[in-house]
Amino acid sequence: MSRRDDIISAAIRLAEQAPPGQTNLSVRAVAKEAGIGASTLRHYFPTQADLHEAIARGSMRTAVKDFSISESGLDPVDRLFECCAQFLPSHEHRDMQLELWLTMHISALGPERRAVTRRLLEYGHDFTYECLHRWLGILATEGHIDPAEVASTSVALFTMLDGLALHSIVTPERVTVDAALDQLRWLITRVLEPSS
């Protein structure tokens, strides 16, 4: 692992150890956790924003799991559902996750948009597409989906995930966590249905 990656890992460790809302990702705290001096950290991350952006990107990459997608002996619907469901809010943290999703979009696209948030949102979208495409590609090699449909199906799945998050905010009584998961499973079942 490179020195830059070591710094990002140290910052993620600090964030994970802190109580919610009390994360201290100051240059000094991160440098201490990484076992380096503040000036060395500044060499890799000249500004606090650079450090925070790198941490957010690193967190996305470590948070998303491939679960059992490569285990060809298991049901392909279950495997893809398990992977995609991690992009939807959970029962335990539903309100916080939806608020974060909405705040990120408003901060990136709203009237007082911030460039760093826009970059993070774009990165998150690209990363989500990459994951969906990779998972569908695995299932395509097993014959569960036409390889020519992997790209368009990735877009359809991403659109549904984003739409479910939005509808969970607008109509929470109708789009509950369970309802969102049911809709996701419904789409995945249709996508992976064998052609007649």
Mean pLDDT of 49-65: 87
Segment 52-63 shows an average pLDDT of: 86
The whole-angstrom separation of Cα 135 and Cα 137 is 5
The owner of tokens 């608020």 is 99
Mean pLDDT of the chain: 92
pLDDT for residue 108 = 92
Span 79-97, pLDDT tens digits: 999 999 999 999 998 998 9
Binning pLDDT at 50, 70 and 90, where does residue 101 land?
very high
> 3-state class of 73 per DSSP?
coil
Contact 161, 129 (CB under 8 A): no
User: Counting every residue, how long is the chain?
Assistant: 196
Distance CA 146, CA 195 (A): 10
CATH superfamily ID and name for 3-61: Homeodomain-like (1.10.10.60)
Contact indicator for 168, 182 with CB cutoff of 8 Å: no
CB 115 within 8 A of CB 99: no
pLDDT at 196: 47
Burial class (CB in 10 A: 0-12, 13-18, 19+), 84: buried
**pLDDT bracket for residue 22 (50, 70, 90):** low
- On whether the CB atoms of residues 57 and 63 are closer than 8 A, the answer is no
Task: Give 64-191's CATH code, choosing from 1.10.1060.10, 2.60.40.420, 3.40.190.10, 1.10.357.10.
Answer: 1.10.357.10
Supply the pTM of this predicted model: 0.85
Token pair for residue 87? Answer: 């992009």
What's the pLDDT score for residue 114?
Answer: 87
Report the alpha-carbon distance of residue 42 to residue 48 in Å, rounded: 9
Cα angle 18-6-2, degrees, rounded to a multiple of 5: 165
How far separated are the first and last CA of the chain, in Å rounded? 49
CA angle in degrees (0–180, nearest 5) for 111-115-118? 85
Amino acid at 126: D
Which part of the chain is CATH 1.10.10.60? 3-61
Residue ranges matching CATH 1.10.357.10 in the chain = 64-191
Per cent of the chain over pLDDT 70 is: 96
Q: For residues 26 and 53, give the distance between their C-alpha atoms in angstroms, rounded to a whole number.
A: 13
The closest alpha carbon to 14, from 43, 35, 44, belongs to: 35
